[in-house]
Structure formats: C-alpha cells, structure tokens
C-alpha cells in the first residue's frame, strides 16, 4: 500500500519537474552581457564617447526564470562610475521576476575641454583644447565640445591638463572692472549722460559701482546694456 507521505512526495516532485520544464536558465555569461549592454545604452543618452563596463561581482552563476521574453534593465545614479552598485531587474514578458545588486566598474571616455597651460583666476578661457579623457569620476559639470569657452572667465586658478568643470568658470561680465562706461542719470523729465569708469564688474541687471573722475564721486547704478549704467534720480 502506498503511504500518504509517498503520495505527497510524488506530487511535490511532479510539480517541481513541471515547473522546471516551463522555466529558462540564465547563465552568468548571458547576465553579464545584457547588464553591460543596458548600462552602455543608458549612458549613450548623454555621452558620445566610448564606454567600458566591467562586472566585478555577480551574485548568481545561474538564475531560473519563467519561459518568455526576457529583458534585463539596470538602475543607478552614476555619480562615480569607477565603483558603483547597479540595481538589476529581470523582466519576463514585461513582468519583474527578480532583482538584485551588482557591483560594476565603468570607464567613460569623451572629448572634453582641457587647459593647455596655467589659467589664472579672472582670465578668459583662451588656452584650451578638446581632448579625449576618462571622465568616469566626475561626470557632473564636465564641459564638452558644445561649450563655448570664449564667453567665460576662470573662477579659480586652473592647472595645465585639468579638465574644465562648470564649477571652475563664470560668464564674462557685460561690464568689466576699470572699463569706461556711460553713466546715465534719469528723471521722469530728462536724462543726462556722463563718462565714468566701472569700479566693479557685472552683467546686465546687476548693480555696480562706477566713478566719475571729473567730479571724483562714486555712484551705484544698474547695468542696462553694453557699457551703459543707469542711475534713477
């Protein structure tokens, strides 16, 4: 006579065999290839350079998933690509069946602006060149070929070979310190223009100090155009 335990064990084994027959096995080679491909595709949205991806730690050598259309998706905040934990999702027929973390190392190369020589604080960015560099450790603020250096000044000293970052620069002011300006005094009825010299720098909309040498007096006015400062009376 067949025992109750034997019947239960047979049912469990039958269920496992049926379930296994309707599953697919994803091996480490497939997982690594698809994870790398997805990371590279995601980075292509913002970068035109070359991308190298190395998976340094994969938690599974094989994964069983239901049969169907398998898709690998990755999620990560790529602040420092040299060493990142990437969240991997496995979808079958657009349904998530498994997720796990993978440690990866990513090297990203792109053409960026690099200093040819020393650029001192306050100097225009003339001494630059476009050069292919690894930028994996500093993606945020890196300036690439669409950047126009001629419109900016160095906010700090920049050493030779240094990659130019948005945090290192500032726009060239509309009016530069010590440059000649036209100082306009305006009332509701009349306006008078006299020559002056900028004591401080600024862009359109900024208030700066200017000095009239003839009267040896300083004024504070608003920049309204190229070398034009307005003082409302």
Instruction: Note the pLDDT tens digit of each residue in 85-119.
Output: 889 999 999 999 999 999 888 888 888 899 999 99
Whether the Cβ atoms of residue 84 and residue 78 lie closer than 8 Å to each other: yes
* Residues sharing a CB contact under 8 Å with residue 157, sequence separation 6 or more, in sequence order: 118, 119, 120, 121
Please tell me the predicted confidence (pLDDT) of residue 11.
Answer: 45
pLDDT confidence of residue 158: 93
Give pLDDT tens digits for 117-165.
999 988 888 889 998 888 876 666 788 778 888 888 898 999 999 989 8
Q: Select the CATH number that applies to the domain covering 109-171 from these four: 3.50.50.60, 3.90.1210.10, 3.40.50.150, 3.40.50.720.
A: 3.90.1210.10
Q: What local confidence, expressed as pLDDT, does residue 183 receive?
A: 93
Measured between alpha carbons, how far is 221 from 32 in angstroms, rounded to an integer?
63
Range 204-219 average pLDDT: 90
Beta bridge partners of 204: none
For CA atoms 126, 127, 133, 136, the dihedral sign is negative
Cα three-residue angle 205-186-224, rounded to 5 degrees: 20
pLDDT greater at residue 191 or residue 140 = 191
| Six token digits for residue 73 | 């998706």
Domain made up of 180-232: CATH architecture: Roll (2.30)
pLDDT above 90 for 229:
yes
Instruction: State residue 18's pLDDT score.
Output: 40
Residue 31 has a pLDDT of: 93
Q: What secondary structure does DSSP assign to 142-203, as a single string?
A: B-BTT--GGGEEESS-B-TTPBPBGGGEEEPPSB-TT-EEEEEEE-SS-EEEEEEEESS-B-
Q: Domains of the chain: which residue ranges?
A: 25-108, 109-171, 180-232
Q: Do 180-232 and 109-171 have the same topology in CATH? A: no
Q: What is the pTM of this model?
A: 0.58
């Amino acid at each position: 006579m067949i025992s109750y335990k034997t019947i239960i064990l047979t049912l469990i084994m039958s269920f496992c065999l049926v379930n296994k027959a309707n599953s697919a096995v994803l091996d480490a080679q497939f997982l690594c290839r698809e994870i790398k491909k997805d990371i590279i595709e995601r980075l292509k949205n913002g970068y035109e350079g070359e991308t190298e991806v190395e998976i340094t730690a994969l938690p599974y050598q094989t994964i069983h998933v239901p049969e169907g259309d398998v898709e690998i998706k990755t999620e990560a905040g790529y602040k420092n690509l040299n060493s990142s934990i990437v969240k991997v999702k496995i979808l079958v027929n657009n349904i998530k069946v498994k997720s796990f973390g993978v440690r990866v190392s990513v090297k990203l190369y792109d053409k960026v602006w690099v200093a040819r020589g020393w650029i001192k604080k306050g100097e225009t960015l003339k001494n630059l060149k476009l050069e292919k560099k690894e930028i994996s450790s500093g993606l945020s603020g890196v300036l690439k070929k669409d950047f126009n250096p001629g419109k900016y000044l160095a906010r700090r000293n920049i050493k030779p070979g240094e990659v130019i970052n948005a945090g290192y620069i500032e726009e060239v002011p509309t009016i530069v310190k010590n440059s000649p300006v036209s100082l306009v005094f305006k009332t509701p009825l009349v306006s008078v223009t006299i020559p002056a010299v900028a004591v401080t720098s600024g862009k359109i909309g900024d208030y700066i100090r200017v000095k009239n040498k003839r009267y040896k007096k300083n004024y504070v006015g608003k920049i309204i155009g190229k070398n034009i400062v307005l003082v409302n009376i």
